Structure 1
Amino acid sequence: MTEDLPISIPLDGASNLRDLGGWQMADGRRLRLGHLYRSATLAHLTERDVDTIASLGLRTVCDLRGIEEAAHRPSRLPTGAERIHLPIEPTVGASLADLMQRELSTGEDVVDLLRRAYLDYGTRFIGAYRGLFDLLLEPERHALLFHCSAGKDRTGLAAALILTALGASRDTVMEDYRATDRIWRRDLALPPGTPKPLADALYATHPELLEAALDAAVEAHGGAMPLLLERGLGLTASRLERLRNLLLE
């Protein structure tokens, strides 16, 4: 079944929308279909897209974009879907502008910037992810969608934390993360004149950075995954069991 995962939902004005359901956990259960979705920005949806989104039965949309990002490009949502803002501020903009002024900047320079951002996501902004888990524990919030701008980095860590908490293997977590490379249309505008090596690095997935973000989050919360789940994400044993029973079948 994993050959058919993740299940992508095509849109005209957005991409990287997919059902997170179907992935198998270590205990043999699978994440329920139709409960949890991830995507890139929903700011440019067409009317047909809004109808498609509405057909998913969304009740909650968690926006992980920064405050200015979200204000500059408001989401288009179907009636009945409540937007919850859990801002994770982007941290590469000013530094990227500096790189673009340097003739010898490379894709590896961009990866170094992204590495710092990923480490921030897993430590400084862990509260936003904790807020996401609080919402996931409310069944009346389902179906729930979470997104950032590209649906790749901040959203990628959100999906990784959710799958890990539910009991997925690291291989499964990375398989879901890398799927962005084939599903996302790279339709997020970059500053005019961005050199191709820098653009390629920004648009690509970086599994080693996701690994580093997960490791940093674990280290910051006691050095073990169960401690990250409890101290960082608020998943006590009873809340974790409840989450798994809500989302797995």
Structure 2
Amino acid sequence: MEFQSLPNFRAVVAGKLYRSSTVDNVTPDDVEKLSNLGIKTIVDLRSVEEFNESSAPRLMDNTFQVVRVEVQDRKPQPPELRFSVKETGSYQDKRHYIVSCYNRHFFTGVLQRKPWYLKIYIILTMILAWLVDTALRTKMKYLKKAIVPIVLSKDQGILQWYKDMVDFSTGSMFAALKILSDPQNQPALVSCKYGKDRTAIIAALVQGILGRKKADIIEDYHKSEEGTKSLYQMMYDEVIVRFDAPKSFLGARKETMQKLLEYIDQKYGSVESYLLSIGFSMEDLEEMRGNMQG
């Protein structure tokens, strides 16, 4: 199905799970097309701040309830998910979940692997940026500019960014997969800003647990090169101009996903072992496989 206002859209599991860029800009015609697919749930991997700063019409949220998901770590028990309604739509059974990949655990983890002198520099830079924002009332403009290079790990490249999300955004991964694999929430759509990076990791984990060949997972990831062509200038302005990241962050090269899957295998043993390490049980995984089968 073609969407004029929803770039990078495609099926992960036909009839069960789809992926795309943000739904903020969908037109009335594309809202109807999504309705025809029966989409009940949107799992949005952006932060609440990203969601709030969007000035797009967000027509989907006229019908979908916007729900913020907070994850409470309870190791060795599975994470606890807390839901709070942010905006009320006209349909109680349609929900747009905000599941941010960037939380305290993510920032702490990324910061901990930095050399001590960089830790001090980063902390001082963030404090200074916060003070400037407070004085000028610039709504986190300078703090965000200080934080994003840390989030992107731009000095080490897009692959390290993906590894950091796998290692440190485990609660978010658990929450997203738990919601998406619930049959009461299907058909579902997973998205982020461009549908290329955070969305790609969730899609790869789903395909991995379903036993898809690595070559197929890699090929699906690579489709985002074509899928984001209409977003290229926006991505360039946001990622390259605004945050001074390398141009490699705009791509979806096959070798990036290949190396990420190799990293998961090397560090955790397999996608299944990774999911077990973040809070799922074997019973959960079997149920997930059954619920996710097309």
Corresponding residue of 2:100: 87
Q: Distance in 1 between matches of 2:98 and 2:147?
A: 25
Would you say 1:124 and 2:116 are equivalent positions? no
The aligned counterpart of 2:125 is: none
- Equivalent of 1:204 in 242, 245, 251: 251
Q: Please say if residues 50 and 76 of structure 1, whose CA atoms lie closer than 8 Å, have aligned partners that are also in contact.
A: yes
Q: Which residue of 1 aligns with 2:25?
A: 44
Structure 1 gaps, min length 5? 1-8, 22-32, 99-108
> How far apart, CA to CA, are the structure 2 residues paired with 1:68 and 1:113?
24
Aligned partners of 1:175, 1:39: CA distance in 2, in Å? Answer: 16
% of aligned pairs identical? Answer: 22
* Structure 2 unaligned blocks of 5 or more: 64-90, 108-143
> 1:1-249, aligned counterparts within 5 Å?
9-21=1-13, 33-73=14-54, 75-77=58-60, 79=63, 80=91, 81-89=94-102, 94=145, 112-187=156-231, 188-191=234-237, 194=241, 200-218=247-265, 222-232=268-278, 234=280, 236-249=281-294
- In structure 1, give the amino acid aligned to 2:60: L
CA change 1:233–1:212 in 2 (3 A) is farther
Q: 1-side partners of 2:182 and 2:211: how far apart?
A: 19
Write out per-residue CA displacement over residues 156-214 of structure 1, whole angstroms, 9 at most, x where no aligned residue.
1110000001111111110111111122234144437839x967523210333334444
Query: Hey, which bits of structure 1, 4+ residues long, moved more than 6 A?
Result: 95-98
- Decide whether the 8 Å contact of 1:17 with 1:39 is kept in 2: yes
Which structure shows the higher strand fraction?
Answer: 2
Change (3 A) 1:200 1:147: same
In structure 2, relative to structure 1, the CA distance for the partners of 1:113 and 1:241 (3 Å cut) is same
Asked if 2 retains the 8 angstrom alpha-carbon contact of 1:122 and 1:213, the reply is no
Please tell me whether the aligned partners of residues 129 and 233 of structure 1 are also in contact (alpha carbons under 8 angstroms): no
Relative to structure 1, is the Cα distance of residues 124 and 186 closer, same or farther in structure 2, using a 3 angstrom cutoff?
farther
Q: Residues 207 and 224 (structure 1 numbering): CA distance in 2 closer, same or farther, change over 3 Å?
A: same
Q: Which has the larger radius of gyration?
A: 2
Shift of 1:137: 3.3
CA contact 2:21–2:195 (8 Å) conserved in 1: yes
Change (3 A) 1:154 1:171: same
List per-residue Cα deviations over 1:31-84 (Å, max 9, x = no partner): xx2110000011111111211121111111000012221111264416243111
Between the aligned partners of 2:207 and 2:60, the Cα distance in structure 1 is: 25
Contact persistence 2:44–2:97 (CA under 8 A)? yes
For residue 11 of structure 1, report the CA deviation from its aligned partner. 2.0
Distance 1:246 1:216, change over 3 A: same
Q: CA RMSD in A?
A: 3.1
d(CA) in 2 for partners of 1:97 and 1:191? Answer: 14
Higher helix share: 2
> Residue deviations 1:132-165, cap 9 Å, x none?
2211332110011000111011111110000001
CA distance in 1, matches of 2:174, 2:264: 12
| TM-score with structure 1 setting the length | 0.74
